[in-house]
Amino acid sequence: MTESEQQIAFFNWCRVMSGSDARLGTIFAVPNGGYRSKATGGRMKSEGLKAGVWDIFIPVQMGQHCGMWIEMKAGKNKLTSGQIAFRESVGDAYLWFVAYSWDEAVEATCRYLGIASGIN
């Protein structure tokens, strides 16, 4: 599966499971990647889009963490220097996880929120 397909599968799981835990319905994606025209890219940058921001955010405080960021990667892809810089600048107030599949993202989300995944 591509990174996009993995992320779609993750959000499909969130939608299905949000009936049993409403916090899953608050999780959102940041549209940083993908092809767009130069005009659209310029407009989005003017609207506040920033390179290096991670793919998925869970806006739920759990213990010492104000939320959780997830970066989806496919194959042997690694964090970019911009993604590393973003994580370092935002810091330890958030939990950070790099997922190479939708089910890794689900398991990390469930560990963070203290819930069962329901995918086994």
User: Tens of pLDDT along 5-35?
Assistant: 999 999 999 999 999 999 999 999 998 766 6
Q: What gap in Å lies between CA 95 and CA 106, rounded to an integer? A: 14
Indicate whether 44 pLDDT > 80.
Answer: no
Q: What is the mean pLDDT of residues 52-69?
A: 95
* pLDDT of res. 65: 96
Q: What gap in Å lies between CA 117 and CA 119, rounded to an integer? A: 5
Query: Cβ distance 7 to 18 under 8 Å?
Result: no
In whole numbers, what is the pLDDT of the chain averaged over residues? 90
Indicate whether 115 pLDDT > 80.
Answer: yes
User: Tens of pLDDT along 97-113?
Assistant: 999 999 999 999 999 99
Share of the chain above pLDDT 70, in %: 89
* pLDDT of res. 76: 92
In the Cβ-directed half-sphere of 56, how many Cα atoms lie within 13 Å? 29
Which residues in 1-120 belong to E strands, given as ranges?
Answer: 28-29, 56-58, 68-72, 95-99
